[in-house]
Amino acid sequence: MITISSADKELEKKTILKEYRLLLRTLKPKLKSTSDKMDIRRAFEMAVEGHKDMRRKSGEPYIHHPIAVAQIVAGEIGLGVTSVICALLHDTVEDTDLTLEDIELNFDKNTAKIIDGLTKISGSFELNMNTTQQAENFRKLLLTLTDDIRVILIKIADRLHNMRTMDSMASQKQKKIASETLYIYAPLAHRLGLYAIKSELEDLSLKYTQPEVFQDIVQKLNETKKERTKYINEFIAPLKELLEEKKFNFEISGRPKSIYSIYNKMKTKQVSFEEVYDLFAIRIILNAPLEREKSDCWGVYSVITDLYHPQPDRLRDWVSTPKTNGYEALHTTVMGHQGKWVEVQIRSKRMHEIAEMGLAAHWKYKENSQDNALDEWLERIRETLSNPDTSTMDFITNVRQELFNEEIYVFTPKGELKRLKAGATALDFAFEIHSAIGMKCIGAKINHKLVPLSHKLHNGDQVEILTSSKQQPNEDWLKFVVTSKAISVLKKTLQEEKKITAEIGKEIFEKKLKQFEIPNTDHNLQTAIKYYKYVSALDFFFNIAAKKLTLSDLKDLAVQGGKLMIPANKSEQGESFEDRIKRELKKNAELLIMGESSDMIKYGFANCCNPVAGDDVFGFITVNEGIKIHRTNCPNAVQLMSKYDYRIVKTRWNKQHEIAFLTGVKITGLDDVGVINKMTNIITGQLKINMRSLSFDTDDGIFEGKIMVYVHNTQQLDMLIDELKKLSGVLSVSRIEDNEKGDR
């Protein structure tokens, strides 16, 4: 129980009122009447009263949270009065005595409906061994698209404020929430056009999932800030002069890349911070009338490329063809002075507002635009949601891929533009036209040339779909379709066919029971499913019908009192690994690798990241291989923590025996006589480290090598990397982070 003095209470009250007045100032342009202001005041007072005895983990009054969410909704997303009211009251129905009826009585049905949507998707981050609660929450979140998209926008604001104020939480909880944010909420913000929020969510996620990496990049950005500012000013000066000569009305500014985008580039390109060539971008915002926006953007592009040489394959034209989320701009990368690449973004004020505010600005300008790409995407999500048979995890995987993927633009035979995710095939295009066409598709003509169903489409392709009434979909199609609509429709159809086949299997099973004089009861069915190690009756019956399972040994099982009994040795084997984990770890909060508690449990090290003693790690309960130990910065960590948080086991190193861990280093440098000999002398001679394999490729005087070694801990690995870096001619040495480790 926290005791607050009267002086502190008075100070808290003043702070709350100050935040409320700031909210009103932000919302002022949207307040159309006195009743609007009264409604906001009423919502504020109801929230203050409802949350009066509640405090956050940090110790501050809980009311700060809904006010902050409302401020984000109004100031950073640009929504209006109803959304702000809902943001202020978003936790009241779940956490206080207020009901939806109270909300409707004080405001209206629409407000109550939005708050109902927010209540249904309120997040619980507790571990659950039976279901993925957050995955189900995400599905509920997207279901609100069919009702009111403001629910999603308020939820994103809620998540953003939670991420901004997560310092007082336990580290493990921070990692799980941050992983889910990176896996679900950042892509969602990206697709809805909230680029500033998306970048902040990514940066904050990195801060909590990999704090050392985050702080290292922040420190290096701060150290190079003066140098970068000077460079940007020198780059802008002649450009500004030329644009003013051409009478453009514009604003120009430089900005650093987000911390997460720098990290992502370092990771994907396997380069150091110093080697990331485009650390900053220049943004030019034009004050131009709608009818002149496009021509002015290209006019500015012409001026830039007259002054600086462009990188030909880095031009992005989202002015002629906006992104699905409404984003419009011209992007180009040019070679500045001192031989540095600089990204330049060109957009109008209207385009800039859409880029910053996303959906809210999109609908504000919608009546002046012929583009309805965002509405088309929302409709596709609705179609995917309408399939009741899609499993929650499949659904999330499919939709998430749609959220963050790059797009391609292709045309129908009549010249109609269609947007698809990059990597889409002819079959995806067929399903995009209509589900019935996809089901009967036998091939396509791309630019008048015949191609198979699996042919990948490219920007500008003209696609004609060929169909046949005799065509039937099959499971192989799922290997190459990539759009959520195609995957969803196919899985639904194949599932229906599976059910029909399973009915035949059910009849075979019932005949076998009768043959062996075993009663046909639900208990006996469930016992048989468990005995044959299937997870559902559908799979069990389907495999019987497909002749992948014979039932001959049913006759050998005992029947007592009409009940089928599994032999004792089989029963013990039937205990799920998850149940065993719960049983073995019930006295311990975590798994101690190389410790006593781990001796009772089967575990191994994940090949995708090859953990070494000393790495920050977590355990993941697999279906067949016990617990797999992953590094927290493993390429798969975000997906595992967000999708399967109930299977995560808190893990740390305890007794570090003299055990050798397999890991690898990647080396690049100048090819020279004796360079490999020098490296092996350091590894085996100087540091006494065992090598597993060594492979080198050379090209035009540059070598690239991969060395797999056995080390005892991260300190020994770091020492190896430091020593190799000292060698003359070595350009870079880094730990191999992914599963491309060559010969292991």
SS3 at position 42: helix
Among 8, 45, 49, 94, the one annotated catalytic: 94
> Could you tell me how far CA 445 lies from the centroid of its own chain?
35
Cα–Cα separations (whole angstroms), residue 6 to 10, 12, 50:
6, 10, 20
Contact assessment for residue 676 and residue 696, using Cβ atoms and an 8 Å cutoff: yes
Question: Phi and psi of 691, rounded to 5°?
Answer: -100, 140
d(CA 374, CA 273): 36
Residues making up the chain, counted from first to last? 744
d(CA 655, CA 599): 12
Is there a catalytic annotation at residue 245? no
Is there a catalytic annotation at residue 94? yes
d(CA 425, CA 714): 44
Strand partners, 733: 667
Of 575, 403, 402, nearest to 482 by C-alpha is: 402
The identity of residue 179, as a single letter, is: S
Question: In b/e form, how buried is each residue of 191-229, taking b as 16+ CB within 10 angstroms?
Answer: bbbbbebbbbbbbbbbbbbbeebbeebeebbeebeeeee
Strand partners, 661: 711
Cα–Cα separations (whole angstroms), residue 400 to 141, 603, 644:
13, 30, 15
Of 664, 594, 607, 597, nearest to 634 by C-alpha is: 607
The tokens describing 102, both together, are: 């109270």
Start-to-end CA distance of the chain, whole Å, equals 56
Of 436, 491, 431, 489, nearest to 463 by C-alpha is: 431
DSSP track, 185-228: IHHHHHHTT-HHHHHHHHHHHHHHHSHHHHHHHHHHHHHTHHHH
The tokens describing 336, both together, are: 């500045």
Contact assessment for residue 603 and residue 591, using Cβ atoms and an 8 Å cutoff: yes
d(CA 477, CA 732): 43
Contact assessment for residue 328 and residue 313, using Cβ atoms and an 8 Å cutoff: no
SS3 at position 691: strand
Question: Residue 184's CB: how many other CB atoms inside 10 A?
Answer: 25
H or E stretch including 710?
strand 702-711
Of 439, 505, 425, 502, nearest to 469 by C-alpha is: 439
Secondary structure E strands in 122-268? 250-256
Contact assessment for residue 649 and residue 621, using Cβ atoms and an 8 Å cutoff: yes
Of 134, 135, 200, nearest to 161 by C-alpha is: 200
Residues ≥6 apart with Cβ < 8 Å to 226: none
Contact assessment for residue 362 and residue 299, using Cβ atoms and an 8 Å cutoff: no
Among 36, 95, 317, 584, the one annotated catalytic: 95
Catalytic residue annotation = 94-95
